[in-house]
Amino acid sequence: MKPASLLAALAAVTIAMAFPATAQERYGSKPPVVLSPDLAAPWVLQLKNRSITGTSVRSNAQKVIFRKQQLAPSQHRQVQRNQVQRVAVQRPANPAQTRGMDPIYLPRTVTYNGPEGAGTIVIDTNDKFLYLVQNNGTAIRYGVGVGKPGFEWAGTHKITRKAEWPSWHPPAEMIAREKAKGHILPIMMEGGPNNPLGARALYLGSTLYRIHGTNQPWTIGMAVSSGCIRMRNEDVMDLYTRVGVGTRVIVK
């Protein structure tokens, strides 16, 4: 063989041997395959607590991204209406605010430093508050309506009777007084939402006076009654559950 031909053959063999080695070196250490968590997660979830090469895949399952369902415009509007309805149920309008009653007359727990013992009801007709004294230096304070000018009174009595949704029997003098004004009162009115005595009544001693509810909650904090102590129905119902017959009531 000629020297030139021999050199060419040697060169070809050298190139052929070098190329596979180079290719093998290039792909000998393959790069890791990396999948997006969005693609891997669905089938990884099926593996649950199994391990891949000794590593738990539970953490990978936590990477699943749940995308919000796309709604049609009509469905979106219905969802909004449902949300508004739920809010309306959870946050009802406050009758005291919608009918003009000062929020200061809403019930709250306050410090009490007076001399009366726990369980006593103390009514401050000047400030229009009723206090139910507690045994820890506090009192539950409620707003009340009291007697209008000429019908104020003060004294100490005990609760002698309790009634739920009481019927109303206006006294004869009240019937005559209102008739002179052109108002005709019934002889008797059955208990119910329209009854002036409201949801509950606590009768004081042998008098005609009562602590009772009202069908006019916006009058709480005013001097408008014929001597009775009126409360919001919600408040007198709460007080009713806290006191019993024999409870001492002081009206100042």
Residue 93: C-alpha distances to residues 36, 218, 251 (Å): 50, 14, 32
DSSP assignment string, 178-196: HHHTT-PPPS-B-SSTTST
Catalytic residue (choose from 76, 157, 183, 228)? 228
Q: Give residues with Cβ within 8 angstroms of 57, minimum separation 6.
A: 44, 47, 50, 51
Catalytic-residue membership of 169: no
Contact 233, 214 (CB under 8 A): yes
| No. of helices (H) and no. of strands (E), the chain | 7, 13
Q: What is the β-pairing status of strands 229-230 and 223-225?
A: unpaired
Catalytic-residue membership of 212: yes
Catalytic residue (choose from 76, 157, 183, 212)? 212
- Residue 201 — φ and ψ, nearest 5°? -140, 140
Residue 114: C-alpha distances to residues 70, 135, 138 (Å): 64, 12, 10
Q: How many CB atoms lie within 10 A of CB 141?
A: 22
Catalytic residues: 212, 228
